[in-house]
Amino acid sequence: MDTLVRAFSAPAFRELGYWLFRYRRTWRGSIVISVVNPLLFLAALGLGLGTLVDRDGGAYLRGDSYLEFLLPGLLVAAVMQTTFLEAAGPVMQGVLARGNYRAAASTPLSPADILHGHLMYWTLRAVMNATLFTLVSMLFGAVEASRIPLLVPVAVLVAVAFATPAAAWSVTMTRPSQINSMFRFAILPLYMFSGTFFPIEQLPSWLWPVAWATPLWHGVDLGRTVALGTATPLGTLAHLGYLVAMAVAGLLLARRNYRRRLHV
């Protein structure tokens, strides 16, 4: 507890301040993206594909519309992707020559302060993204207003669970192409097979354990059960446990890697 308090004390907030200062320059564009992104997805998948699905897929959806089924997964996956991109690239740049991390490391901040400050920034951005996403979805009728206070924290938890391992990994990277490969060969496949667009029960049964093992599936399923009111205590606990464990493991690994890379 003591270390937790110290971890998020003043020095880390200075690093948060740095990222917020930089955000001042890009906030308009980022808000447009946060609003347009769900609009496009909901229009194309929800309205277009959704009408098709709703016509014959009633059994799987248990009475909910495809749009309602889709929304929680879309939200969780979109927030996760944005967080990955905001964590991976800037972390790698930060640690290279002329990067922010190098400069910050010569001030009273410790490598852990730098990590914690940046993590606060990703968390804040995830809250913004998730909130905007759900508000837009509400206008589409894709989610009930009463579910938003539960859905947003789920999306933010998933974002943090991805942010810490992404930071731990990126801080050891030296080329942007490595980040791109990670996105293409790990993040996108996760997105496709995590049950975002269809229930994983649609896949051959031998593939289910693969889906259960992936973190995004836990996030998507947690979001969906919360949004549709089908959550079970055991399932929820398993999802939460998985995501929290991932966030903590990532944090510990990132702290070690930050120290090794910034204090050589």
Partner 1 sequence: MAADAPAALIEASSLTKVYERGGGRAGFTAVDGIDFQVRRGEAFGLLGANGAGKSSTMRMIACVSPLTGGGLRVLGHDSVTDGPAIRARLGVVPQDDTIDGELTVRENLLIYGRYFGLSWKVLRERSTRLLEFTRLSDKAGDSVSTLSGGMRRRLTIARALINEPEIVLLDEPTTGLDPQARHLLWERLFQLKEDGVTLLLTTHYMDEAEQLCDRLVVMDAGRIVAEGAPAELIARHTSREVLELRFDRLERQTMTDRCRGLVEHMEELPDRLLLSTDDGEETLGAVHRRGVRPVTALVRRSSLEDVFLKLTGRSLLD
Q: Which two tokens stand for residue 168?
A: 């731990």
Backbone dihedral region for residue 210 (phi beyond 0: left; psi -120 to 50: alpha; all else: beta): alpha
- 256 is an interface residue for partner 1 by CB under 8 A: no
By the rule CB under 8 A, 3 interacts with partner 1: no
Asked if 11 is part of the footprint of partner 1 (rule: CB under 8 A), the reply reads yes
Q: Which uninterrupted H or E stretch holds 15?
A: helix 10-23
Does 10 sit near partner 1 (CB under 8 A)? yes
Residues 188 to 247 in contact with partner 1, rule: CB under 8 A: none
Q: Which of 9, 17, 31, 141 binds partner 1 (CB under 8 A)?
A: 17
In the chain, what are the helix, strand and coil shares in percent, each to the nearest 5? 85, 0, 15
Q: Which CB, 78 or 119, lies closer to partner 1?
A: 119
For the bound state, the minimum distance from the C-beta of residue 20 to partner 1, rounded and expressed in Å, comes to: 11
Minimum separation from the CB atom of position 83 to partner 1 (A): 20
**Residue whose C-alpha is closest to residue 87's, from 223, 229, 262, 247:** 247
List 110, 137, 164, 170, residue binding partner 1 (CB under 8 A): 110
**Residue 264 makes contact with partner 1 by CB under 8 A:** yes
Neighbouring C-beta atoms of residue 206, cutoff 10 Å: 7
Helix (H) or strand (E) holding 26: none
Measured CA to CA, the distance from residue 78 to residue 191 in angstroms comes to 9
- Assess contact for 73 and 195: CB atoms under 8 A: yes
CB 80 within 8 A of CB 219: yes
14 binds partner 1, rule: CB under 8 A? yes
Select from 61, 92, 104, 227 the one that contacts partner 1 (CB under 8 A).
104
DSSP string, 43-75: IIIIIIIHHHHHHH-HHHHTT--HHHHHHHHHH
Confirm or reject binding of residue 175 to partner 1 (CB under 8 A). Answer: no
Site string for partner 1, 25-64 (x = CB under 8 A): x---------------------------------------
What residues from 63 to 102 belong to the interface with partner 1 (CB under 8 A)?
A: 97-100, 102
115 binds partner 1 (CB under 8 A): no
Q: Which of 27, 48, 51, 107 binds partner 1 (CB under 8 A)?
A: 107
Residues that bind partner 1 (CB under 8 A): 10-11, 14-15, 17-18, 21-22, 25, 97-100, 102-110, 262-264
